[in-house]
């Protein structure tokens, strides 16, 4: 089953390409799109790559080699030959496949399943049960003008912060910690610090399980950490793939 839609998180993508030359970004984006289109890893000699290289296969191969060296793409041997893969693309494909399967399942049942508790009882009892005498005897204005509950407003910048932060766990706890942190600093400082922390984790190759939960990071006021990030270096790689 071909997946025709995947989610693209702009903030995460932009944070992940900080320091990359424009031509490497283009090569990285094209490979990710081909992986999405194919539904998985693509052959290293995929003929479609030649069409995006402007006729210069070696030039594109060199750019992809550099992106692999940065850890943005993976190159693995399989029974069908050497393939290029991307961990984030694989995760989004998995999520998209689950959504597609769920849609197919709902469609076979005639649409989304309805919940019994969504039915509203009517005075004549057509909703499954009649209203109590106490409710039907209330004045009309008390039935129609009852106060509405309002949802709490989302603090400025939280989705941007959460999207940039290098580990996505405990979003509810992170939301509460973010609100608390805003009493001590502003959203721009939190987003900037999260971007630096993400870059540091990628530079050091830190495994996700060793990255602090966003709520822990916020409660410990880690936005005040001083991270020494040297300017990115472009690796010199000769030849093609």
Look up the CATH number of the domain holding residue 48.
1.10.10
Cα–Cα dist 35/40, whole Å: 5
pLDDT of residue 222: 93
Closest to 67 in 3D by CA, of 56, 75, 77: 75
Q: Is residue 26 part of a domain?
A: yes
Q: Is residue 146 part of a domain?
A: no
Note the pLDDT tens digit of each residue in 47-76: 787 677 665 556 778 888 898 999 889 988
Confidence label for 1 from pLDDT (cuts 50, 70 and 90) = low
* Residue-by-residue DSSP string for the chain: ---------HHHHHHHTTT--HHHHHHHHHHHHHHHHHTS-EETT-HHHHHTTTT-HHHHHHHHHHHHHTTSSEEEEETTEEEEE-HHHHHHHHHHHHHHHHHHHHHHTTSSPPPGGGPPP-TTSTTSSPPPHHHHTS-HHHHHSPPPP-PPPPPTTHHHHHHHSS----HHHHHHHHHHHTTTS-HHHHHHHHHHHHHHHHHHT--GGGSPPHHHHHHTTGGG-----PPP------S--
pLDDT digits (tens, 9 = 90+) for 132-174: 555 555 555 554 555 555 545 666 789 999 999 999 999 999 9
Of 79, 83, 80, 51, give the one whose Cα is nearest residue 68.
Answer: 83
Among 37, 56, 90, where does a domain finish?
90
Structural domain includes residue 85: yes
Query: Of 54-58, 102-106, 118-122, 170-174, where does mean pLDDT reach its minimum?
Result: 118-122
120 within some domain: no
Of 53, 68, 90, the last residue of a domain is 90
Residue 213 lies in a domain: yes
Q: Kindly state whether residue 28 falls inside one of the protein's structural domains.
A: yes
Asked if residue 109 is part of any domain, the answer here is no
The residue from 43, 60, 90 where one domain ends is 90
Are 79 and 72 contacting, i.e. CB atoms less than 8 angstroms apart?
Answer: no
Model-wide pTM > 0.85? no
Number of domains in the chain: 2
**Residue 233, strand partner residues:** none
Query: Is 45 inside a domain boundary?
Result: yes
Which residues span the domain enclosing 209? 158-224
State the sign of the Cα–Cα–Cα–Cα dihedral 214, 217, 223, 225. negative
């Amino acid at each position: 089953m071909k997946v025709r839609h995947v989610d693209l998180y702009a903030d995460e993508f932009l944070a992940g390409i900080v320091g990359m030359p424009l031509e490497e970004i283009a090569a990285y984006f094209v490979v990710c799109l081909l992986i999405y289109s194919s539904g998985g890893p693509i052959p290293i000699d995929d003929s479609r790559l030649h069409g995006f290289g402007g006729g210069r296969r070696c030039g594109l191969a060199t750019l992809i080699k550099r992106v692999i060296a940065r850890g943005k793409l993976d190159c693995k041997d399989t029974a069908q030959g050497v393939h290029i893969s991307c961990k984030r693309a694989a995760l989004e494909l998995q999520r998209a496949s689950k959504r597609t399967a769920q849609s197919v399942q709902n469609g076979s049942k005639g649409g989304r399943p309805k919940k019994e508790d969504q039915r509203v009882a009517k005075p004549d009892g057509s909703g499954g049960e009649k209203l109590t005498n106490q409710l039907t005897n209330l004045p009309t204005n008390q039935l129609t003008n009852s106060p509405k509950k309002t949802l709490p407003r989302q603090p400025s910048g939280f989705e941007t912060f959460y999207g940039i932060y290098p580990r996505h766990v405990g979003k509810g706890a992170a939301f509460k910690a973010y609100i608390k942190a805003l009493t001590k600093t502003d959203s721009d400082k939190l987003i900037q610090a999260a971007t630096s922390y993400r870059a540091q984790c990628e530079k050091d190759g830190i495994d996700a399980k060793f990255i602090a939960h966003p709520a822990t990071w916020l409660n410990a006021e880690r936005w005040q950490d001083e991270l020494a990030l040297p300017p990115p270096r472009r690796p010199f790689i000769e030849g093609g793939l």
